[in-house]
């Protein structure tokens, strides 16, 4: 037999069909996918609820929202996130749980350190009023960076 034929036979003999996802992996993927779809629905709903001529930046950060959207999106967010996080926590292993806990703590610190500093500086007219959503986004970015670093290193 030639070396090429041997290599091909070995490759065929050792190649396996892709493994089916375990129930835990399916729950994990469902929880993350559900959260992503939830965010997409809320984002699409917000865009559809805006008056004509309003650009995305104004809609996301400065524009007013209708009462119907605000109430509906708040309920959808709270209930959907509770469902998604319950499924997520039932699916993760110890390694990911540890990454999630440290990331959550880092995100919390990223909120509680700048928030009072910004508020005090604003009270002295040294900074504009504190932007809660900007602080929230900052804490989520810190959370994501720490989580990815701990999960994938």
Tell me the three-class secondary structure of 44-100, residue by residue. HHHHHHCCCCCCHHHHHHHCCCCHHHHHHHHHHHHHHHHHHHHHHHHHCCHHHHHHH
| pLDDT confidence band for 116 (50 / 70 / 90) | very high
In this predicted structure, the answer to whether residue 7 has a pLDDT above a threshold of 70 is no
- pLDDT tens column, 62-107: 778 889 999 999 999 999 999 999 998 888 888 989 999 999 999 9
* % of the chain beyond a pLDDT of 70: 85
Per-residue pLDDT band at 37 (split at 50, 70, 90): very high
| Average pLDDT of the residues of the chain | 86
Q: What is the pLDDT of residue 105?
A: 97
Q: pTM (2 decimals)?
A: 0.72
- Taking the C-alpha atoms of residue 73 and residue 85, their distance in angstroms, rounded to an integer, is 17
DSSP-assigned letter for residue 15: -
- The distance from CA 151 to its chain's CA centroid, rounded to whole angstroms, is 14
* C-beta atoms surrounding 28 within 10 Å: 19
Please identify which residue in the block is written with the tokens 């670093």.
Answer: 149
How many other C-beta atoms are found inside a 10 Å radius of the C-beta of residue 63?
15
Query: Which pLDDT value is given to residue 47?
Result: 82
Contacts of residue 66, Cβ cutoff 8 Å, sequence gap at least 6: 49
pLDDT score at 6: 59
Q: What is the CA radius of gyration of the chain?
A: 23
| Residues 6+ away with beta carbon under 8 Å from 147 | 99, 100, 102, 103
3 has pLDDT over 70: no
- Name the more confident of 24 and 127: 127
Which distant-in-sequence residues (6+ apart) come within 8 Å of 60 by Cβ?
Answer: 46
């Amino acid at each position: 037999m030639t070396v090429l034929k041997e290599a091909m036979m070995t490759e065929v003999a050792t190649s396996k069909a892709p493994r089916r996802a375990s129930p835990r992996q399916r729950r994990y993927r469902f929880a993350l996918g559900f959260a992503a779809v939830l965010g997409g629905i809320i984002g699409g709903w917000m865009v559809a609820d805006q008056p004509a001529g309003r650009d995305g930046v104004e809609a996301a950060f400065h524009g007013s929202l209708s009462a119907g959207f605000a109430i509906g999106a708040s309920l959808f967010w709270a209930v959907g996130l509770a469902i998604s996080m319950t499924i997520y926590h039932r699916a993760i292993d110890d390694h990911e749980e540890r990454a999630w806990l440290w990331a959550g703590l880092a995100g919390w610190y990223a909120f509680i350190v700048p928030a009072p500093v910004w508020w005090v500086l604003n009270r002295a007219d040294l900074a504009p009023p504190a932007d809660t959503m900007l602080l929230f986004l900052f804490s989520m970015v810190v959370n994501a960076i720490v989580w990815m670093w701990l999960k994938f290193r």
